Structure 1
Amino acid sequence: MNAIRPAPRIVETANWIFRDGGKVLSVRSHGRDRFYLPGGKIDADETAIEALIREIREELGVMLIEKSIRPLGIHAGHGHNQPSGVIVRMQCFAARFTGTLTPSREIAEMRWLSQRDRHLMAPMGQKITAALFDI
């Protein structure tokens, strides 16, 4: 007799992909061992773009220019440091910004990662940057 498995829990996120040549902007939060694409969870009362703008302002102190935001795709998979059965669904966007990139208190480190540094990223970040930029 087969047991019925519960449906996976899905965590929706909005993430910014900002590339400079062959490097991708990545952040590492305090207490984390891997770098992530900047962004975060979409709250129940906001759109993906609203979440993206809020998260980037909170994490990096810059304001995304809303008119410049364009979708780069949706990627889903098991998130790094997520419990079994949790799927992270990342809506990725490109955008221009105003201000100076300055990591907030929640961000331990901001780094531009190249192809040879990609192993420092969480698995989903590795997968997305490989798919979008062939790095």
Structure 2
Amino acid sequence: MKVIRIAAALLIGPDGRTLLVRKRGTQAFMQPGGKIDAGESAAVALVRELNEELGLIVDPTEAQFLGEFSAIAANEPGFEVNCQLYRLDVAQDVMPAAEIEEVVWVDAGGTDELHLAPLTRDSILPLYRSLQSA
């Protein structure tokens, strides 16, 4: 199976909720982030993607590495995503841009009605819930 290497953010707002995004023309909500370009570190890719997609200006040194996760890609059939996940606490407003069609802030229990990407549903949200209850 082909692998897409991505960097993604568990963005935590001041109220403790986390941000999910949905790309234009797709159904699944997922963490903000994107593909890691050749020669780019995961943290640098994340900062670039958050700026392009949400207008966020973040310092890569503030990104806390949470781990590496893999799952079937939500939007690319036949692909797996390999995700370097970082936590970022943000107080800035987000402005959907580039390919982002919709953003939603959710709490640990508020995702039942959303169509979630496998990585988000199976790995990242359970981690988020464990962090929130810690």
Q: TM-score range, shorter-chain basis?
A: 0.7 to 0.9
CA contact (8 A) 1:64 1:96 kept: no
2 CA distance for matches of 1:49 and 1:116? Answer: 28
For the aligned residue pairs, the C-alpha RMSD in angstroms reads 2.0
- Give the alignment's TM-score, normalised by structure 1: 0.83
1:109 aligned residue: 102
Q: Give a deviation string over 1:37-64, Cα, whole Å, max 9, x none.
A: 0000001121101100000000000111
1 CA distance for matches of 2:60 and 2:17? Answer: 23
1 CA distance for matches of 2:63 and 2:127? Answer: 19
Q: Which amino acid aligns with 1:52?
A: L
CA contact (8 A) 1:73 1:92 kept: yes
Q: Which region of structure 1 is more displaced relative to structure 2, 37-46 or 114-123?
A: 114-123
Partner SS, residue 52 of structure 1? helix
Establish whether residue 130 from structure 1 lines up as the match of residue 126 from structure 2: yes
Structure 1 unaligned spans of 5+: 1-7
CA contact (8 A) 1:16 1:37 kept: yes
Report how far residue 99 of structure 1 moved: 4.5
Alignment of 1:1-135 (within 5 A): 8-20=1-13, 21=15, 23-84=17-78, 86-97=79-90, 99-114=92-107, 115-118=109-112, 119-127=114-122, 128-134=124-130
2 CA distance for matches of 1:73 and 1:103? Answer: 26
1:5 aligned residue: none
CA contact (8 A) 1:65 1:97 kept: no
Q: Which region of structure 1 is more displaced relative to structure 2, 53-62 or 119-128?
A: 119-128
2 CA distance for matches of 1:106 and 1:98? Answer: 22
Report how far residue 92 of structure 1 moved: 0.4
Report how far residue 22 of structure 1 moved: 5.5
Larger Rg: 1
- Give the alignment's TM-score, normalised by structure 2: 0.83
Structure 2 unaligned spans of 5+: none
